[in-house]
Amino acid sequence: MSGAHLWAIPPFLLALTVHEFAHGLIAEKFGDPTARMMGRITLNPLPHIDPIGTIILPAFLIIVRSPFIFGWAKPVPVNPFNLRDPKRDMIWISLAGPVANLIFAFVCGLVLRVSLLFSSSGPLVVMLAWAVIIGLVLAAFNLIPIPPLDGSGILKGLLPDRMQEGYAKYERFGFIILLGLFTIGQPIIALFVFPFVGIFSWLFTGKTMFYVLGLIGL
In a 13 Å sphere around the CA of 72, the CA atoms on its Cβ side amount to: 12
Would you put residue 146 in left (φ > 0), alpha (ψ -120 to 50) or beta? beta
Least Cα distance to 152 among 136, 176, 138, 168 occurs for 168
CA–CA separation, 152 vs 159, rounded Å? 11
CA–CA separation, 152 vs 142, rounded Å? 9
165 catalytic per annotation:
no
Least Cα distance to 30 among 141, 157, 120 occurs for 157
Angle (CA) 203 206 210, round 5°? 95
| Alpha-helical runs (H) found in the chain | 3-6, 9-29, 34-37, 57-63, 86-116, 123-142, 150-158, 161-168, 174-183, 186-205, 209-216
The set of catalytic residues is: 20
